[in-house]
Structure 1
Amino acid sequence: MNVFATDASARLYEHAKFMGQRHIAQLFQEDPNRFQKLSFELDELLVDFAKQRLSTETLQHLCQLAEEKALKRWIKRLFNGEKINTSENRPALHTALRTPIDQSLLLDGTDVIQQVHENLDRMSRLVECIHSEQWLGCTGTPINTLVNIGVGGSDLGPFMACKALGEFSSPASEKLEIHFVSSMDGSHLSSLLSKLDPTRTLFVISSKSFTTIDTLANAETAREWLKRAEVHAEMDESLIIKRHFIGVSASPQRMVDWGIPESNHLYFWEWTGGRYSMWSTIGLPIALRIGMEGFRDMLAGAHVMDCHFRDTPFTENLPVLLALVGIWNINFLNITAHAILPYDGRLSHLPSYLEQLEMESNGKSTTRHNDQVNYHTCPILWGEIGTNAQHAFYQLLHQGTVPVMCDFITSAKRYEAPGHEELKHQHQLNLSNCLAQSQILALGDTVIKDADQAPAYKRYRGNQPCTTLLMQRLSPYTFGMLIALYEHKVFVQSVIWDINPFDQWGVELGKTIATGLLPALTQEQACEALDSSTLGLIRHINR
């Protein structure tokens, strides 16, 4: 099935024959005002597409493609709570998680916005209790360390946000150490437990289903560690769990079955996808790091982007344009590699977060109608802090043979307070690197006089399409805008590709097979009906 068999697609294929032969440097020579025509602003965020290999005509054709693919109707269905996650027969209502309380949305007769704010208030009381040192461990000492146990969306989002927004910590939250544990092999936890005080450590078990084997294995290890602690030797296990565990899940009964009392529960819903869940009570570590006021600022920034996405014409709509430029690169210019390059150390975990958001959402090869696609869908994403990446893989970007589209992400202002002059200079140095690299990647060495006289090994071909996302300042508010921007970009691309971005069946078979192999690895039973490689490896491990 070819979802690109439309009138706008036909025009885009013809247009690509022409634009595909152009160099971005040529486009600037022909139109010095590209920035004014191809950059767009919303509040404290600017997105510049001028260094992409496209024109205003390209964007017009792409917006027509979005119209032909009924994007307006799909956006309306998303916000209205229709069951657009068809394979799991549920809505995808992450936008409801950041909707103000004065609005409402009925789902099966229940106002989900009211439910969301009831749980935010519950989380707020818990945050206040921990920050004010009223949450006491079994021995009566205040909690000063929190360990979040989760995996995937229950780990990557909160971890990334805590790193990005750490400098917005309040005096109360600075007293609290926050750690994240996700690896199934126990390496995170084993190196951490030896440094922690079992009387002052609180574990948060974050799992939508509360059946995730990675998470529960780490949680069980934490429980046994607490029980073995000398100070807990004579204590009842239920008291240890009550004082040292919080559960965050959409499955209350499973939390109870594990031993966590209802007083220590935080809830979210089945319609909250894991990789969209940090806006929910899964964001507890974020709220503990930056306070509930900062957490609500983050929600407010995301909501501003939601409203912009829902209400703004495609020609000025940041998520729509970001998505369509990606479609242009992937499906019409055949560029299937995407580098995420934040020039801000606080955003060091943004690339890995976006890897999950995009590749788990749109890494699909079947349409919503179960037809095999015959076109590219999600590209390969990877990235690193820009200044580190310059010494790692920029060689390939500048002189390799692979076409790569790049997102440069940074903030205009930092270290503005008096007494930070040296740090302010470092930020300006960082910005100069960001701007220089995007310029060279797009324009090549045409920016250097007599560059064509240099030997081939010193030449920079350029023509790597670059988008720059520039925040005025990184704050909880602009951070919320940025993440929501990418979320909606993913949704728009799924509509164009006719795929469901809200499931991830591709990860399920590996879990099933792993469970089946465990008896052979523990030598409880033979497992002869395997391929020779897997069988040989198991035998070697067991020897």
Structure 2
Amino acid sequence: MSAVSRATPDTLPAWQTLRTHAEQLKSIHLKQLFGDGGQRWEHFSRHVAGVTLDVSKQRWDEDTLEHLLALAQEAGVPAAIKALLSGKRVNTSEDRPALHTALRLPADASLELDGEDVVAAVHASLAEMEVLVARLHAGQWRGATGKPIRDVVNLGVGGSDLGPLMVTHALMDFRPQDIHRVEVHFASTMDGSQLADYLSRLNPETTLFVLSSKSFTTIDTLSNANTARDWLVGRLAEHGSSPVHAELVVRQHFIGVSACPEKMCEWGIAPEHQLRFWEWVGGRYSLWGTIGLPIALVVGMDNFRALLAGAHSMDEHFASAELMGNMPVLLALAGIWNVNFLDIRAHSILPYDGRLEHFAAYLEQLEMESNGKSVTRHGESVTYSTCPVLWGQLGPNAQHAFYQLLHQGTQPVACDFIAPLKRYDDVEDADTRAHLKAQHRLALSNCFAQSRVLMLGDDAIEDDGPRPEHKRYRGNQPSTTLLLDELTPTTLGALIALYEHKVFVQAVIWDINPFDQWGVELGKKIAGETQKLLEHEGDISRTDDSTRHLIEAFWAAENNV
């Protein structure tokens, strides 16, 4: 992804070929594509690192894929993959590498950036994190009054919250059993509602806060952190007959994770309780490093390293596989085909495993913050669609919520179905294991059946005679199915890395920068100015009519008018 100018994607020869090809294929129903023999699984599925990708239910054929692979070549995807993984400055607007893959390199690997041995630095930070984790798991981290820490609250937002929250929930089955158990909680909302709940229930003597912010200036996180600090200091200062000094409270009850150690020191976090973060890691790509501290606290460092190893195995595949067999490339090309040639602008993420409850929310940020762009890397407005709108929910629950739209609505939607093949083998009680495995089969049967009905429509069921239109199903909705051999730290790491690389490949083809997020900056600036108006600082008459009346409504409520 160099800054050298090239033709816009929609002028490339392969793009023009795909336009013509799409017009020919749009009239062909998915059931017809499946009706011409049984080889689609062979052509459109791959298995890598414990993950199976099935894109056979996409509305394409072998010619489509051939043209899409030609587009990837013309857009420079192979060279871009090498640039990303070797530390080139692929984040062009901020003139930085995007080296999240370096966070999961093995210790014996080698990668240098601006004279620094990146791999050595990463593993040094992991070693520092391991020391803190070991202290907490041994019950040796004690609060200001001498009691061992029992609850850890992660204060972060965006990538400092969504990734760790998703992974800790997904891997809850992998909690070590022979440790001092620490409960991990997450507070991200700037309104304080999540934090207020914890403060009403947790014991300040045994509660530790992890303050995670790359810049250490994020107002959402700092507002929560300031409230937590005042709560701790106020409650512990009243402790018994021996008031506790505020500096000791902050020292014993806060860990900082940031790329700005000087700001952590200014805030009062002890240097030995600070973990390093790098500017060359974007927040939404950061769970692999010290931002993953909550993950390590839940699953232990061995399982955290297995998560990294799974992601690294997908990195190696991404780096070495030919485009035709490259799983992230195929997943990306399916999205390009849907968005740019079939005009499908909605994408739903549907896991059929309760442990993946937060996976859709994680992907919403990963994809829409990365590729929700309308300007090329060269500063020109795009003339084609980029990232679709993503949303999702646990599939079994979504069936009772929005599947009606998927099956009979007017909007075309591409879906990703995600499920593990094996579960509950380790349940000790035989009867309970049998019941739970039956429930797992029920979930899988629904997962497989829903993608089949979305594909075939009425043809998925035997003809039972004439039916009214409101009982008919058109089908022809494309979907991808991703199957994990089992949901483990290793396969989850591979799955997340698969989606990261998919996002990158699409960004290369769309000629956009997936590693910045300037779209959120103006909102932050205006919010700061509006906050001053709410506090009667500034001239409210300079705002628009709607905003002025909204502020006045707040003032009236505040004064019980």
Distance 2:384 2:401 in 1: 31
1:438 aligns with 2:444: no
Deviation readout 1:416-470 (Å, 9 max, x if unpaired): 1352110000000000000000000011110212267211110111100010000
Alignment of 1:443-482 (within 5 A): 443-450=456-463, 453-482=466-495
Shift of 1:174: 7.1
Distance 1:538 1:7 in 2: 53
Equivalent in the alignment of 2:4: none
Equivalent in the alignment of 2:397: 388
Equivalent in the alignment of 1:403: 412
2:425 to 405, 416, 424: 416
1:252 aligns with 2:265: no
1:124 to 126, 130, 146: 130
Equivalent in the alignment of 1:368: 377
1:315 aligns with 2:321: no
Question: What residue ranges of structure 1 are gaps of 5+ in the alignment?
Answer: none
Distance 1:207 1:90 in 2: 19
Shift of 1:261: 1.0
2:272 to 255, 260, 263: 263
Q: Residue 451 of structure 1 contacts residue 459 of structure 1 at CA under 8 Å; is this kept in 2?
A: no
1:10 to 16, 20, 25: 16
2:205 to 194, 199, 209: 199
Q: Residue 48 of structure 1 contacts residue 468 of structure 1 at CA under 8 Å; is this kept in 2?
A: yes
Equivalent in the alignment of 1:68: 74
Secondary structure class of the residue paired with 2:125: helix
Equivalent in the alignment of 1:217: 223
Deviation readout 1:92-134 (Å, 9 max, x if unpaired): 0000000001011110111101000000011011100100001
Equivalent in the alignment of 1:106: 112
Distance 1:408 1:343 in 2: 7
1:425 aligns with 2:433: no
- After superposing the two structures, state which structure 1 stretch, 168-177 or 192-201, moved more: 168-177
2:530 to 514, 517, 531: 517
Secondary structure class of the residue paired with 1:208: coil
TM-score (norm 2): 0.95
Equivalent in the alignment of 2:555: 542
Secondary structure class of the residue paired with 1:180: strand
AA of the residue aligned to 2:354? G
AA of the residue aligned to 2:108? D
Distance 1:282 1:121 in 2: 14
1:238 to 239, 247, 252: 247
Shift of 1:33: 2.0
Alignment of 1:339-350 (within 5 A): 339-350=348-359
Shift of 1:524: 3.4
Number of corresponding residues: 543
Equivalent in the alignment of 2:164: 158
Distance 1:521 1:43 in 2: 53
Distance 2:415 2:15 in 1: 24
2:540 to 509, 527, 535: 527
Equivalent in the alignment of 2:214: 208
Shift of 1:231: 1.7
AA of the residue aligned to 2:407? H
Secondary structure class of the residue paired with 1:184: coil
Secondary structure class of the residue paired with 1:433: helix
AA of the residue aligned to 2:130? S
Alignment of 1:26-37 (within 5 A): 26-37=32-43
AA of the residue aligned to 2:414? M
Question: What residue ranges of structure 2 are gaps of 5+ in the alignment?
Answer: 1-6, 557-561
AA of the residue aligned to 2:488? S
Runs of 4+ in 1 over 3 A off after TM superposition: none
Equivalent in the alignment of 2:190: 184
Q: Residue 138 of structure 2 contacts residue 180 of structure 2 at CA under 8 Å; is this kept in 1?
A: no
Distance 2:463 2:528 in 1: 62
Secondary structure class of the residue paired with 2:512: coil
1:146 to 136, 144, 152: 152
Change beyond 3 A, Cα 1:43–1:520: closer
AA of the residue aligned to 1:358? E
Shift of 1:290: 0.3
Distance 2:253 2:48 in 1: 43
- Aligned-residue sequence identity (percent) comes to 56
Distance 1:473 1:343 in 2: 13
Distance 2:303 2:194 in 1: 28
User: RMSD value over aligned CA atoms?
Assistant: 1.2
Change beyond 3 A, Cα 1:452–1:355: farther
Equivalent in the alignment of 2:559: none
